[in-house]
Chain A
């Protein structure tokens, strides 16, 4: 039933909504603005908002000094590679848990999620040593595996909740109709869960793209993604905020654009099953 909402209430809620939105977006906006300032304007007090000498100088410097494209391609490899590897494991896992659960399925799901509660730094040294011994430091393969393992619990959870919504009778009908397990997955389950798989993929790409702890600790140059690119502009150079902002803007731009275009899909994926 529709609820009567007064105009005043609507206005208040709109203002609150926009305020929260802007508050969350403010750091990103400030970074983007700073990236167009001169170093002097960037540290001016009181801060300059829109009236300063807009310049592309920072971008030119950043471009001249480091190979943005190589870092970006590394980010793409890591994000896409870890997500693709994740799907390969998460779809069958979620499938088994959703359609053929055992008494322990809930425990396994919780246990998988509990690994996300572990502070990553707690296992940094063992993993670093393993990587060193196996010659995986600064390699794409090594990082893809780490990012894949980090995101796997989330992928399984998201796909599991999505698959749970698919009525089992439809899959049984496919079985009665003569579909083998592979055909059942290819012709019935996958087409029915395309939205769920798509939002899972998007979220995992974003998470892998933004992951900074492992990418910074396990790479130096060869496999270094955009997180390392940003980091290279921070401490050693002193407080060159404008250049740092330009580097950050370049690093977040691809994922920001991807997120903007897929926000509908993302919201649907994250809230799936919450409302019928």
Chain B
């Protein structure tokens, strides 16, 4: 079991409020991602759940019991840290065995569980090495191994992939997703990378300045962002925002259109502009178009073979039904 409920959880450091009365339900077996810009409080929220920080007010329930005052070890949660936090003086085997040793398990059972974890994570050949003799990806796997041997109620990941290079990050992302499908244990994953959030999560919690902006499935957030912040944060490249008459004509103070929801034409369309920078990715091309009357360029996504160059005139037209409208305070108008 791994059902976690946050009930009006707040956290202040001195006079600075970092988390503002957060309510959240995490179901057993869910993969929940906390995402938001740096300093939004996502790591603090995870540390509150872990018990590494004390809540200022509110309650944290794990599987129906109040865990607010429990020591980290008593919450039956495992954590994987950004820096891996392996014990440098212990071998891989001792690192993975450490939580079991602390729990006072028998030698046989420790050995069996370490071997199981090592097999799951392809670490069997490295058990006698020290962490410093491992690559970044292997260290990350040891950290995960140390987390899974305890068979916790939930896993907590604090930006676990941000120290890895891009290619390895994609691999590890898949490995963690596969691990989740295999173990079916609740996972809470903190990241600032919305691509990780979109690809891994069952449920995304978007945080900003210590408040939850929106909770929902990746596609839900993509299709129906509750406000301008979520609309701009989820999706890559970022959603374009258009203000002024063009927006009021559509019934909002601001309208948002994703780059992939713009039709591009060289002859006619809603907004006329000139091509600034075009980024060719092979599979896609991103055009940054300077539209008359708009202060910032609008990004449009098109096919990889599209050939328009700097200074060419283009017309952009938002696809029907794909325009997001926001009122003066940034809330979505439905």
Task: Please list the residues of chain A having a beta carbon within 8 angstroms of any beta carbon in chain B.
Answer: 167, 169-170, 172-180, 183, 187-188, 191-192
Additional A-B contact list (13), CB under 8 Å, known A170-B85, A176-B73, A178-B103: A169-B81, A170-B87, A172-B52, A175-B71, A176-B50, A177-B146, A178-B73, A179-B98, A179-B102, A188-B87, A191-B89, A192-B87, A192-B88
Assign chain B's interface to a size class.
20 to 34
Task: Write the B21-46 contact mask toward A (1 if CB under 8 angstroms, else 0).
Answer: 00000000000000000000000000
User: When the two chains form the complex, which single residue of B82, B89, B102 contacts A192, counting CB atoms closer than 8 Å?
Assistant: B89
C-alpha spacing A29/B99, complex, angstroms: 55
Would you call B316 an interface residue if the criterion is a C-beta within 8 Å of the partner chain's C-beta atoms? no
A residues near B89, Cβ cutoff 8 Å: 191-192
A residues near B79, Cβ cutoff 8 Å: 172-173, 176
| Contact sample, A vs B, 7 pairs, CB 8 Å cutoff | A169-B82, A173-B81, A173-B86, A175-B71, A177-B102, A177-B150, A187-B98
C-alpha spacing A183/B73, complex, angstroms: 13
B residues near A188, Cβ cutoff 8 Å: 87
A residues near B177, Cβ cutoff 8 Å: none
C-alpha spacing A178/B74, complex, angstroms: 7
- CB A184 to nearest CB in B, in angstroms, measures 9
B residues near A175, Cβ cutoff 8 Å: 52, 71-73
- Given A169-B81, A183-B102, is A176 in contact with B87 using a C-beta cutoff of 8 Å? no
> In the complex, are the beta carbons of B72 and A169 less than 8 A apart?
no
> In the complex, are the beta carbons of B85 and A178 less than 8 A apart?
no
C-alpha spacing A173/B83, complex, angstroms: 11
A residues near B77, Cβ cutoff 8 Å: 176
Task: Please list the residues of chain B having a beta carbon within 8 angstroms of any beta carbon in chain A.
Answer: 50, 52, 71-73, 77-79, 81-83, 85-89, 98-99, 102-103, 146, 150
C-alpha spacing A180/B104, complex, angstroms: 12
C-alpha spacing A192/B88, complex, angstroms: 8
Q: Which of the listed residues B52, B85, B99 has the most CB atoms from chain A within 10 Å of its own CB?
A: B85
- CB A127 to nearest CB in B, in angstroms, measures 41
B residues near A176, Cβ cutoff 8 Å: 50, 52, 72-73, 77-79
B residues near A173, Cβ cutoff 8 Å: 79, 81, 85-87, 146
- CB B80 to nearest CB in A, in angstroms, measures 9
C-alpha spacing A269/B150, complex, angstroms: 37
C-alpha spacing A170/B86, complex, angstroms: 6
C-alpha spacing A187/B88, complex, angstroms: 12
B residues near A178, Cβ cutoff 8 Å: 73, 99, 102-103, 150
- CB B172 to nearest CB in A, in angstroms, measures 18
Kindly report which residue of chain A lies nearest to residue B156, judged by CB atoms: A176
B residues near A172, Cβ cutoff 8 Å: 52, 72, 79, 81, 85
- CB B86 to nearest CB in A, in angstroms, measures 8
C-alpha spacing A170/B82, complex, angstroms: 11
Kindly report which residue of chain A lies nearest to residue B50, judged by CB atoms: A176
Kindly report which residue of chain A lies nearest to residue B81, judged by CB atoms: A169
C-alpha spacing A187/B94, complex, angstroms: 11
